[in-house]
C-alpha cells in the first residue's frame, strides 16, 4: 500500500555547485508548511546541503548530471529523498565513517554523512556502483505546543 502524504514536491537541477543554495532554499520553503523552529529548519537545510554536495562532488565528480530531490510531508514529518545517477558508492558503511573521504585534496572533512545523521532523525543510503546513490532522510517537526512548553520550562528554570 502506498503511503498517503499531505504534500509532495519534486525538484531536479544540474549538478552545479551554485545550485546547492537553490536546493536548500527550495526545501526550506516546502518544509515551512510544517511551521518548524529556526533550529529545525537550519538542521534540514544543513543536511540537504551535505547530501546535494555529495551528489555534485562525489556522484558526478567532474561531469554534469541531474540531482533529484523528492520531498514528502506526512503529519508533522518531512521525508527527503536526494539522488543522483552518478558513479555510486562502493562501500556505504565505510563511506559513512567520520572523516572518510575520497577527495582529500578538497576542503571537505569527510563528515557529510555524520552531519546528516546528527541533524536528521533517520538516514538511509542506497547506492549501486555505476548507477547512482539515493539518500533518504526524515525529521519530525515538533508541534508548536511542544516547542512552547519546552521554551516555558527553560524560562521557568532560570
Whether 108 is catalytic is yes
What is the spatial distance between Cα 5 and Cα 138, in angstroms, rounded to a whole number? 13
Strands (E) in the chain, as ranges, are 7-14, 66-74, 77-84, 122-128, 132-140
Residues spanned by the domain of 148: 7-157
pLDDT by residue for the chain (158 residues), tens only, comes to 456 779 999 999 999 999 999 999 999 999 999 999 999 999 999 999 999 999 998 899 889 999 999 999 999 999 999 999 999 988 787 777 766 666 656 655 667 788 899 999 999 999 999 999 999 999 999 987 655 556 556 566 65
pLDDT, position 135: 97
Whether 140 is catalytic is no
pLDDT, position 4: 74
Is residue 2 in a domain? no
pLDDT, position 114: 83
Is residue 136 in a domain? yes
SS3 call for 36: coil
Q: Are strands 7-14 and 77-84 parallel, antiparallel or unpaired?
A: unpaired
Is residue 99 in a domain? yes
Counting the structural domains of the chain, the total is: 1
Is residue 128 in a domain? yes
Is residue 1 in a domain? no
The active-site residue out of 77, 108, 126, 140 is: 108
Q: What is the CATH number of the domain that holds 134?
A: 3.30.565.10
Whether 91 is catalytic is no
Is residue 85 in a domain? yes
The active-site residue out of 54, 81, 85, 117 is: 54
Are 98 and 40 a contacting pair, CB within 8 Å? no
Amino acid at each position: 500500500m502506498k503511503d498517503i502524504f499531505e504534500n509532495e514536491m519534486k525538484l531536479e537541477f544540474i549538478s552545479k555547485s551554485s545550485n546547492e543554495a537553490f536546493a536548500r532554499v527550495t526545501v526550506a520553503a516546502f518544509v515551512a508548511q510544517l511551521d518548524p523552529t529556526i533550529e529545525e529548519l537550519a538542521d534540514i537545510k544543513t543536511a540537504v546541503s551535505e547530501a546535494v554536495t555529495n551528489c555534485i562532488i562525489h556522484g558526478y565528480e567532474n561531469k554534469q548530471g541531474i540531482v533529484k530531490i523528492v520531498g514528502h510531508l506526512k503529519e508533522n514529518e518531512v521525508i527527503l529523498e536526494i539522488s543522483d545517477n552518478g558513479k555510486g558508492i562502493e562501500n556505504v558503511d565505510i563511506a559513512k565513517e567520520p572523516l572518510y573521504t575520497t577527495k582529500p585534496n578538497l576542503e571537505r572533512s569527510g563528515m557529510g554523512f555524520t552531519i546528516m545523521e546528527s541533524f536528521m532523525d533517520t538516514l538511509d543510503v542506497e547506492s549501486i556502483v555505476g548507477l547512482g546513490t539515493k539518500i533518504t532522510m526524515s525529521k519530525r517537526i515538533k508541534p508548536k505546543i511542544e516547542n512552547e512548553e519546552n521554551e516555558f520550562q527553560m524560562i521557568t528554570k532560570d
